[in-house]
Structure 1
């Protein structure tokens, strides 16, 4: 009997200790995010060129944009994180100002107008929630996004599911997003008198301005009946640690768009219609007309190779195609160089090539008998090169402080982008990451 009692006591003691270890593991498991983190991101972007879609493939593409965003990540408990992303972008555009080029002085596609369309403000707010399993091998997330600008409003929902296998050496994920967008269609100023309630050439716009060239100006214009656009995306990714110093990943993205895919204020000029002008500005023969559906596929991969404590090689390639006839290739390489324990340099290079969409026509190359047409050079055939350089400062101990937040990192980057058309752009970005003490 004594032996039986002893065995029972030992069993109870072992079970109690095992339970205590299990409880201890549950209580003291590593949190997904230890503390509140705040990212402040900012950028300054400028571009120029001579193929503005607003003026039918000719004219200035000059534009500047300043963007600021805050990203706040809040740990709700050991497993759950709430992230709030709020951003504002303000731009000034000589190109879009020519939606109405006749409001001050002689109109010219290569000169900016001072109209209301010369600047705009875009605002975005995104909230996302993520949950990680106790073993950190399963992660799911959900998000809600809303954005707005003068002529556009967008509402989006999405989510993702990630699974890690093979002692976290293998990762598989799937994601999906739905965006419901609405245009507030704005048309070129000379076409508005030909709308549903317009009076054509009898409108005061034409009686107060003198038409030269073809005096019987008669554009092909109908307002869009449906101003909605829906976008659906589905993404798959696979990541694998191939070696202690090498990691690779593959990704597949599928996107379906339906609705108003044309930009209402982009002009088109027909080669078989005589030109009409006011001042130096050619009056639109029509606005951009594109199909109401588009299916896109992108397949890509990354390979990152950690050479040593100083140098890492990061490579990327993507092939893209859609049912509008565009095929493109993107390849890039980045070489992070760790020069000290806290500072890293980021030289990079990216090359991009694409074929033209089936509906692209240069200035005055479309025909009035065509069903679809655009003179937007973003849909033309071109190749582009982008050179970048950046520097990053990282302090895992966050010794520098701003109020109750410690500074974890600073990232500064510059990119120069050039197409083999006249288009070029520059962007400077800055990012600051803070963590609450």
Structure 2
């Protein structure tokens, strides 16, 4: 009560001085009213190079994600954003962590089992606080992140600073993030203590090269820098740089490898693991890129993007994309887009039975192989600045509907459908 009384007294004194001096204390709010974003996406993929089964096998996966993002103005200068969501997936490849269930079909890397690892859900909670200076030229932010799924838990935090200057023609941004993650390793079933199956066939005795990981944590640290500049009435550009360092268990415990110097052993049609992937316990990544937006006219904008990526695992990659928003009317805009990606292989990538057991590091994860990809997409946005349509006390401001198709040179293909809506309070 004492603290509350002091706060009330200070408020009254400040109000009284403002009245006495005849000052106008009104300041435009950073966010006028609360906003709610409802987001949903559905993702589907398929391929024949599953890392769970040593680089050969089904990659069929479906994922449905829904989240709600609430932006709340705390006062004229401060905004709190809370993002909560859940992602539920079903994966044929991860089901083969234990392919020897009671399914009527013979165990095979090209078909899903019905084991417990076939499906899972990831839940995340991400609050962000932003404070803007009185002149609105500086923005400070702080955020936290928590996510959890069956075999992985992530805790993160970070902060950022944005500064506008040169009559707001130039913007500089800097941010950092820290993620402290931990595994609950789910090793391939045949590598677990006590595994025995009389159906094992092969020449000799099945004796895999496997030792459980001692370190089950993964820490990631990132620093992001960006600068954007209005270059003319129609042209705006930006440059960004990220520095990312990772330490700890960077291998995925349930991804099998098969060695060229080991005999092959099977149960039914499923080859038993010779070991699991082994990757270095540190990784340093440097993406650097640029955006260039050109306002062709009142109806068409060209949004281009390029990024170069390099890391100390031997991967280098190029990404280029173009999006061309086309304004059909005051309320409807189309968003055709295209993205091209190309990367080299990691130093530790080997196809199935190409690595030897004498190597220190090896993986058959085709995400670390050399490949190129194409992504094509189309989106449509409905926007009503007056938010005329109402749902309870909130007005409908925007509806975004997007579809993207992805094709990779190693045969992986996928598509994603997403829907987003934004509601604003009165």
Give the drift of 1:245. Answer: 1.2
Number of residues of Structure 1 aligned to a counterpart in Structure 2: 407
1:75 to 62, 73, 76: 73
Match of 2:160, SS state, is strand
User: How large is the RMSD of aligned CA atoms in angstroms?
Assistant: 1.2
In structure 2, the partner of 1:177 is: 177
Q: Which residue is 2:231 aligned to?
A: 242
1:2-401 paired onto structure 2 within 5 Å: 19-20=21-22, 23-24=23-24, 27-105=25-103, 106-193=106-193, 198=194, 203=195, 205-206=196-197, 209-401=198-390
The superposition leaves residues 54-110 of structure 1 with CA deviations (integer Å, 9 ceiling, x where unpaired) of 000000000000000100000000000000000100000001000000012421000
Pick one of 393, 398, 415 that aligns with 2:404: 415
Structure 2 Cα separation of the partners of residues 282 and 318 of structure 1: 39
How many Å separate the matches in 1 of 2:152 and 2:322? Answer: 35
Greater C-alpha radius of gyration: 1
CA displacement, residues 403-426 of structure 1 (integer Å, 9 cap, x when unaligned): 010000000000000001110000
Separation in structure 2 between the aligned mates of residue 421 and residue 214 of structure 1, nearest angstrom: 32
Instruction: Give the ranges of 4+ consecutive aligned residues of structure 1 lying more than 6 Å apart after TM superposition.
Output: none
TM-score by length of 1: 0.92
Matched, 1:404 2:393: yes
Q: Distance in 2 between matches of 1:51 and 1:110?
A: 10
If the length of structure 2 is used for normalisation, what is the TM-score?
0.94
| Deviation string, structure 1 residues 220-279 (Cα, Å, up to 9, x no partner) | 000011100000000000000001111100000000000000000000000111100000
Q: CA deviation at 1:17?
A: 11
1:17 and 1:98 map into 2 onto residues whose CA distance is: 72
- Residue 19 of structure 1 and its aligned partner are, at CA, apart by 5.0
C-alpha distance in structure 1 between counterparts of 2:131 and 2:327, whole Å: 33
Cα distance in 2 for residues equivalent to 1:244 and 1:258: 45
What stretches of structure 1 of length at least 5 have no aligned partner?
1-15
Distance 1:269 1:226 in 2: 23
Distance 2:400 2:19 in 1: 48
| Partner secondary structure for residue 96 of structure 2 | helix
Query: In structure 1, how many angstroms separate the alpha carbons of the residues matched to 2:113 and 2:339?
Result: 34
CA distance in 2, matches of 1:373, 1:92: 27
CA deviations 1:138-179 (Å, max 9, x no partner) are 000000110000000000000000111011110001000000
